A and B are shown apart, each in its own frame.
Chain A
Amino acid sequence: MPRFGIGQPLTRKEDLRLLTGRGRYVDDLSFPNQARAEFLRSPHAHARIVQIDVEKAKSASGVCAVYVSADIANAGLGGLPVWFMPENAPPGYAPEFPLLAQDVVRYVGESLAMIVAESAEQAARALDLIEVKYESLPTSVGLEEATSDGAPELWPGKAPFNVAFLWQGGDMSAVVTALRQAAHLVEIDVINNRVAIAAIECRAAIGVHDAIKSRSTLYTTSQMPHPLRADLAAIFNESEDQFRVVIGDVGGGFGSKNSMYGEQALVIWAARMLDRPIKWVGERSDAFITDFHGRDNVTHGELALDQDGNFLGMLVDVTANLGAYISGRGAMSPVLNQPALAGTYRTPAIHVRVRGMFTNTVPTDVYRGAGRPEAIYLLERLIDKAADELNIDRVELRRRNMIPADAFPYETPLGLTYDGGLFERNLDEGLRRMDWDGMVSRRAEARARGRRRGIGLANYVERCGHGITQDAQIKVAADGGVTVLIGTMSSGQGHETAYAQISAELLGVQPSQVKVIQGDTDLVAQGKGTGGSWSIPVGGAAMSKAADAIIDKGKEIASHLLEASSADIEFSGGYFTVAGTDHAMDWSSVAASAYDPTLLPEGMTPGLEGTGEFVPSNHTFPNGCHLCEVELDPKTGSLDIVRYLVVHDFGVVLNPLLLEGQVHGGVAQGLGQAVFERTYYDNAGQFHTSSFLDYNIPRADEIPSIEFISNPTPCPANPLGFKGCGEAGAAGAPPAVVNAVVDALKEFGVKHIDMPLTPERIWRTINNAATKQDFP
């Protein structure tokens, strides 16, 4: 095996650049003669725009132009494209999501006007001079409000009762039959709280137009350059080749930079109008109210069990908050990933109904896991509740219902075919390493100090990669250097390292010989961007096909020069060898020969490159068990996360450093949602948690060191055996920590507590549940 091939803990190639401040983000770019844009955001959650007067703003110093919705409507620009709406129900309603609000604003932060000025300060100052007359309209902010009788409607006549769509999956009659046979029915209501996604690099965009070539270039921060180009083409009603999208380093995305935002089209439009580059860089305060949020579901779940605790059927009813409009991929999370509800258990019948709701809030979109964490949270909370009500040990209840190792391929009632996994072993390893049985004494010891301890676990199965095709192009230069062109897009995951390592494995080169080109639609032919943990499984598999083409051609060249039959040439470790002999050519001489027509077989085109496309035949199924131990102060509600363990099956591990880094981040975000991150809209739709003082992103000292146990199984659907690890952490963490806290609060009679588990929430839950007596 080459030293830097698959499985090696190669340190990140991009880190020297990123950690020494030499990354290139959007704000690092500037163009000669550029002007700056700022946007006027609605201060109201729901209001009619009676009048906008921009005259004063237009004549303010430094201002080049002010645009409102009428200006762009006259130019025929469309709204933001919606990439997904569920199909199986009567058609839902996806309203036009205008780049600038037309007659009505529907959430605080919605853009109303764009100002372009010589400097950002001048543009910001002129914002205050735009006079808008609003007539306020009644609001529906939270899900409870939006679904209540007589709730104000956002889209009267179009989306009655604020319902954007209804969708259902699974077999209802099978579930009804199961319910009839059940000895027990356990119910739970959970809130999957809304989060601000809060990537460290705020959104930003620069539009540059070349009037001679009639082509526009967008420099922006995005996880999906090619889909973004398609969106631009749709909005401008032009062909894709009139646009180029260029993405540099991306400071995090987590789903918030998958879909398009109005600013990205408007900087191009203004660049065309004014014939100069237009730059916009968002502020953090803007980001909190204008970046698409994540999660926000209210879910009711029912689990039917027989006398012995076998799961018979599950009924799930999800109400999903889509916000005021449907964002590009906003309907995906609550619909596409509901199959995760099956988890690691053999529940024979599952039915899920989803109601997508409009509310006067910023739209939600995909967020790390995109529906899988929500489903797994419901399932694993429901199982703990069932164990409690049936008085069966929660580990035993899970064990009893676990899909056994010999059951694969296993078809779930929501249409997935699992191809492998050692679910019970994940659990056993976790219990052993956490010393689950030793909890009795740890609980007593904490109690003696006036504290309470709890432990919890959650099993999960994810699914990645199916339905995505990705191609990769690998070019080998005459000096043997390798360039990988690929349409995935790193937002911090370390693709440069990962793809270099895959190249090292496949082609026997050094990682330092590999360049990775991503994020430029003029250079990379096709791409889906990065999301859904698919880049390494799908991108890697595409690379392996591209590498095969290169190796095949290399063999022909070597066979010609070594005067052997090409069938006798073996390629390994960077050498083309005539089998059974010591006649060989190394990588760089084959690469050099490939560019010298005199050395090539007759009729062979010079050059050495390959393109491969991978169309997955099935999903991959990363799976694992998360365990969490907590300690809390019952008098103040303060929570310490004491230990955290992940037992995982990600198939073949490409690079344990990258992988653990992905899982660390995922767990931290999962714990963030579950414990720290509280978004708060008041009844009038004002967003109050719009700075990092009030919106608590987890910090290093609040997350324990995360322990890992690897328990891999093969991944038949992927040629390199990778399953994908980008999102799993965020899926396991919320139920693991909430189960641990409910365990710690058991003595107070607590059956459930909603996220986020802030001290006050824990304090209040204890005080509401406990007998009025004081406790030690």
Chain B
Amino acid sequence: MEYKAPSSIDEAVMLLAQANGKAHVLAGGTDLLVQIRAGFTKPTLVVDVKNILELRTISVADDGVCIGAAVTGAELGEHDAVKAAWPGLVEATELIGSTQIQGRASLGGNLCNASPAADTVPALVAASAICLIAGPNGQREAPVEQIVTGPGQTSLKNSEFVVQFQLPKKLPRSADAYLRFIPRTEMDIAVVGAGVNLTLDKKGICQQARVALGAVAPTVLLVEAGAKALIGSTLDDAALDKLRAAASAACNPIDDKRGTVEFRVDVAGVLAKRAVLIAKQRAEMN
């Protein structure tokens, strides 16, 4: 296995394009190294992207926030501006692993590892994040929800990788929230994850909403019916009940030792509703 650590996007693209055999991008390695050690994947080339400036930078501008794909959870958690604008995304990121894992784990790795239970993905989808992708044919953009196509599978072409995540301009009276359910108190894989992003008007009526669920289908779900249930309402009990039902109805989970179908379906509704209440409270304050 060969290890390379290029310092530019172009160099990284070239290395990946020229690889013969299996090549992997390496960010924090908290998924990849575990998989290599367990013998699940045997790459011939590993391209470490942590030395590429664009992937390690967080920039805040008037039209939104850009987060480098290899920025670590710890870095994001200490970034006051991002925390203030996207508390839900930051709380999702900070749920990953432990203090040690936080020092390594990245958004790019969490997305591209393509686990149905990845914690930041529902939050990214709810936030309408766009990926900037580099590849042999230059750079392109794609919404986060188009990246993962199934467990362990992405729509990235050979030698493409994610450079950064672009979050839209933050509107007044809007906020996001993320909740996950695990059987334990920490360090566990989500049985259900729920990300919500809301915009209210001055009267508290919901103008925009996005609801995304993790771990209840092969890929993260964007629950349009859930958003519909909320938009136009004051997020009263009736609307919340409709949302809960819509969230449960959207689920198509697996039945396994970590959680049965009925349980995941029901808890998905419960969590979506609770996440809306948190986002609402935050939106009312800003």
Is there a chain B Cβ closer than 8 Å to A144's Cβ? no
Q: Which residues in B have their C-beta under 8 angstroms from that of A764?
A: 262-263
How does the 8 Å CB contact mask read for A620-639 relative to B, with 1 for contact and 0 for none? 00000000000000011010
Of the residues B184, B188, B263, contact of A760 by C-beta under 8 Å: B263
Interface residues on B, range: 10 to 19
Contacting residues of chain A (517-562) with chain B, CB-CB under 8 angstroms: none
Q: Which residues in A have their C-beta under 8 angstroms from that of B185?
A: 699, 701-702
Is there a chain A Cβ closer than 8 Å to B223's Cβ? no
Q: Is the CB of A760 within 8 A of B259?
A: yes
B75 to chain A, nearest CB (A): 24
How does the 8 Å CB contact mask read for B180-202 relative to A, with 1 for contact and 0 for none? 01011111110000000000000
A668 to chain B, nearest CB (A): 14
Q: Which residues in B have their C-beta under 8 angstroms from that of A92?
A: none
Spot the interface stretch: A9-17, A478-486, A689-697, A718-726. Answer: A689-697
Q: Which residues in A have their C-beta under 8 angstroms from that of B271?
A: 636
Is there a chain B Cβ closer than 8 Å to A759's Cβ? yes
Of chain B, the residue at the smallest CB distance from A450 is: B274
Q: Is the CB of B184 within 8 A of A699?
A: yes
Contacting residues of chain B (171-218) with chain A, CB-CB under 8 angstroms: 181, 183-189
Is there a chain A Cβ closer than 8 Å to B258's Cβ? yes
Asked whether A701 and B263 contact (CB < 8 A) given A636-B181, A636-B270, A688-B257, the answer is no
B155 to chain A, nearest CB (A): 28
Of the residues A680, A688, A759, A767, contact of B183 by C-beta under 8 Å: A759
Q: Is the CB of A763 within 8 A of B263?
A: yes
A774 to chain B, nearest CB (A): 8
Is there a chain A Cβ closer than 8 Å to B267's Cβ? yes
Of chain A, the residue at the smallest CB distance from B189 is: A693
A648 to chain B, nearest CB (A): 27
Asked whether A694 and B184 contact (CB < 8 A) given A636-B267, A763-B266, the answer is no
Asked whether A758 and B270 contact (CB < 8 A) given A680-B257, A694-B257, A763-B263, the answer is no
Q: Is the CB of B183 within 8 A of A760?
A: yes
Q: Is the CB of A758 within 8 A of B183?
A: yes
A702 to chain B, nearest CB (A): 6
CA distance A10 to B10 in the complex (A): 63
Is there a chain A Cβ closer than 8 Å to B260's Cβ? yes
Of the residues A635, A694, A760, contact of B270 by C-beta under 8 Å: A635
Contacting residues of chain A (733-758) with chain B, CB-CB under 8 angstroms: 758
CA distance A763 to B188 in the complex (A): 19
B183 to chain A, nearest CB (A): 5
CA distance A688 to B188 in the complex (A): 17
How does the 8 Å CB contact mask read for B25-54 relative to A, with 1 for contact and 0 for none? 000000000000000000000000000000
Chain A: interface secondary structure? loop
CA distance A635 to B267 in the complex (A): 7
Contacting residues of chain B (52-67) with chain A, CB-CB under 8 angstroms: none
CA distance A764 to B257 in the complex (A): 14
Q: Which residues in B have their C-beta under 8 angstroms from that of A676?
A: 184
Q: Which of B184, B258, B262, B271 has the most CB of A within 10 A?
A: B184
Q: Which residues in A have their C-beta under 8 angstroms from that of B266?
A: 763, 767
Q: Which residues in B have their C-beta under 8 angstroms from that of A635?
A: 267, 270
Q: Which of A688, A689, A763 has the most CB of B within 10 A?
A: A763
B252 to chain A, nearest CB (A): 18
Asked whether A702 and B184 contact (CB < 8 A) given A636-B267, A693-B189, the answer is yes
Of chain B, the residue at the smallest CB distance from A676 is: B184
CA distance A485 to B174 in the complex (A): 72
Q: Which residues in B have their C-beta under 8 angstroms from that of A638?
A: 181
Of chain B, the residue at the smallest CB distance from A774 is: B241
Contacting residues of chain A (689-721) with chain B, CB-CB under 8 angstroms: 689, 693-694, 696, 699, 701-702
CA distance A680 to B259 in the complex (A): 13
CA distance A696 to B259 in the complex (A): 14
Q: Is the CB of B186 within 8 A of A701?
A: yes
Asked whether A696 and B184 contact (CB < 8 A) given A635-B270, A680-B257, A689-B257, the answer is yes
**Nearest 4 interchain pairs by C-beta:** A635-B270, A760-B263, A688-B257, A636-B267
Which residues of B are interface residues toward A (Cβ below 8 A)? 181, 183-189, 257-260, 262-263, 266-267, 270-271
Mind listing 7 A-B residue pairs with CB under 8 Å?
A636-B181, A680-B257, A701-B186, A758-B183, A759-B181, A759-B183, A760-B263
Known pairs A694-B257, A696-B184; list 6 more (Cβ under 8 Å).
A688-B257, A689-B257, A699-B184, A702-B185, A760-B260, A763-B267
